[in-house]
Amino acid sequence: MSTTMITTEFQPKVVTNAVDFSFANVPPPGVSSDVLRWVEQCVTLTKPDAVVWCDGSLRERQAFFELGEQQGVFVKLNQQKWPGCWYHRSNPNDVARTENLTFICGPGEQVAGPTNNFMLDKEAYAKLGALFDGCMKGRTLYVIPFVMGPLGSPLAKVGVQITDSLYVAANMGIMTRMGLQAWKQLGPDGADFTRCLHSVGDVNPERRYICHFPFDNTIWSFGSGYGGNALLGKKCLALRLASFMGRQQGWMAEHMLLMGVESPQKEKTYIAAAFPSACGKTNFAMLIPPKKYADAGWKITTVGDDIAWMYVNKDNGKLYAINPENGYFGVVPGTNSKSNPNALMSMSRDAIFTNVALVPLDDGTFDVWWEDSDWPAPKKAISWDGRDWTPEIAEQSGLKAAHPNSRFTAPMDNNPVLDPAAKDPQGVPVSAIVFGGRRSKMIPLVYQAFNWIHGVYMGATIGSETTAAAIGQVGLVRRDPMAMLPFIGYSISEYLVHWIRMRKKMTDCPRIFMVNWFRKNDQGKFMWPGFGENMRVLKWIVDRCHGRAYARETPLGWMPRSQDIDIEGLNMSAAEIAMLEDVSIDDVKNEVLLHEELFLKLAGDLPKEMIFQRELLISRL
């Protein structure tokens, strides 16, 4: 075991004056009485030794890093290669979202529906209250005010997170609009804020709970320091609670990227896309067009890589979307200058690396490394779980240098292709919604829904094949409606009804598409090159949105002819494109039978529109 000075943050320490920064121990002027009262209740419950009111400044964040370095929470990286970057290692038992310990809490089980874990709200408050009681003795409590969404946006939401984790405080400063601006957005009399209480506790999986109280606009998370469980503005607020708020208030919170496509004629088209994990979502959000398209003047820009909040603009009846986040929390392994150079540039400065390999350098500083990076494997390193690692050890034992779910946290402004409208409070108009999954057979390269309701059915029945034995049988098709299954904050049947009802609010709705980059031939080889070449499919989608591209009617939907997809410069023939778009009626019949998995889960709560769409699909066969 390596002796490098870094802890797994079992016991967050009390803030000291060992750094050249004065942390605020009293609230700033203008904080509402509702906030003060709630913070006081949390302090009384958790009993910290000190309280810090975060101001969100860059100097404060730097002080978090410096203090974390003293406490073994952070390691400073070589500043010539990684300016402003730091390293963190989480507890080995705390490296991913814990969906089995994530609960929707309310007065009755119907609020959670058949796909969520449920706990009675009174029971949850009592169980977690006992865990939180005195949990911050000997620690510092940080009060983190933050805004999800561009400041001034009609959808922007204010949250206040209480935590005992320096790692969380530093990450929230990157991922959200954190600090004094949140108090201004809330106002001196504001009571409408999300109450987020978090403690790493003793990082014991047996005492780990992530509980959402949608009727109380509250999140309680105990026993985890990992991003998805601890950065409560992200999946917890921006998807689970926000999806519930959206249903109540007439908007949508979705697990979608947002991208801009600019043509050589300067026509801008915005697209939202939802893919399950391991389907190339971040790569698509930061797609680099092939040379032919780039030379012609095509440009791809990123509004967001993970979450979209969408509402209907009353002035024109169109669907608009904002990215509620202010940074990226992306998976590191596999990221390189070929797969996603824009992501690599985004993490090149002022970033936090979590659970990659730490590489000691001869000058006493540290580098980081991960599998499939641009750099050759180091002769020796410290693995993500603190063990000595060498290429020889990896070959003999299979030990990974970086955890498969290791992460980078980087400011949105680092992205060289950040869309100019990424911070527009009104958001961007969405012309297309793209669903996708990883399917080796049957599902064609691209097709378009006949209409909005048909598109909802397509999204609700997304299937994606598992890619690792740890998840279960490799190649097993798992249903992930709208790629939102783990993040819907209420009953899935009500969620689908909400999608259907949103159509009535729009006078001109986005076109809906399905894509599949992962179809294989009989030899088991991918039939489509993917990555930047997806631009060719994207162009057809854009042209369909603007009424310029041809499509033929098929049982699945509107589909391009082989000549409608540009293959100039590709080592592919029109016949191979036709094979990618080929659909066997027998395969479709089998796929319809597989949809039963979703239908049986919903039992009698399935919206009638879904039943009608299924019958229409069967009739087209």
For the annotated catalytic residues, the residue numbers are 279
Three-class DSSP labels, 279-305: CCHHHHHCCCCCHHHHHHCCEEEEEEC
Task: State the burial class of residue 608 (Cβ atoms within 10 Å of its Cβ: 0-12, 13-18, 19+).
Answer: exposed
**How, if at all, do strands 157-163 and 194-199 pair?**
parallel
Residue with tokens 């009755």: 108
The answer to whether the beta carbons of residues 194 and 253 sit under 8 Å apart is no
Q: Give SS3 for 30.
A: coil
User: Which phi and psi angles does 183 have, rounded to 5°?
Assistant: -65, -40
Q: Give SS3 for 352.
A: strand
Joined tokens for residue 614: 């299924």
Q: For the CA atoms of 184, 185, 188, 190, what is the dihedral angle to 10 degrees?
A: -160
In degrees, to the nearest 5, what angle opens at C-alpha 426 toward C-alphas 422 and 429?
75
Kindly state the helix (H) or strand (E) to which residue 311 belongs, with its residue range.
strand 308-312
d(CA 453, CA 433): 13
Which of these, 548, 545, 546, lies nearest to 564 by C-alpha position? Answer: 548
d(CA 509, CA 557): 17
Joined tokens for residue 504: 């009535």
Joined tokens for residue 572: 């592919």
Sheet of strand 75-76, all strands in order from the earlier edge strand to the far edge = 75-76, 86-88, 352-354, 407-411, 327-331
Residue with tokens 């309310």: 106
Kindly state the helix (H) or strand (E) to which residue 125 belongs, with its residue range.
helix 121-132
40-76 burial code (b ≥16 CB/10 A, e <16):
eebeebbebebbbbbbbeeebbbbbbbbbbebebbbb
In sequence order, the β-bridge partners of residue 369 are 357
What DSSP assignment string belongs to 232-283? TIIIIIIIIIHHHHHHHHT-EEES-EEEEEE-TT--EEEEEEE--TTS-HHH
Interacting residues of 502 by C-beta distance below 8 A, sequence separation 6+:
250, 252, 312, 319
Question: Which one-letter DSSP state was computed for residue 206?
Answer: G
Looking at the chain, the number of H-run helices and the number of E-run strands are: 18, 31
d(CA 285, CA 339): 12
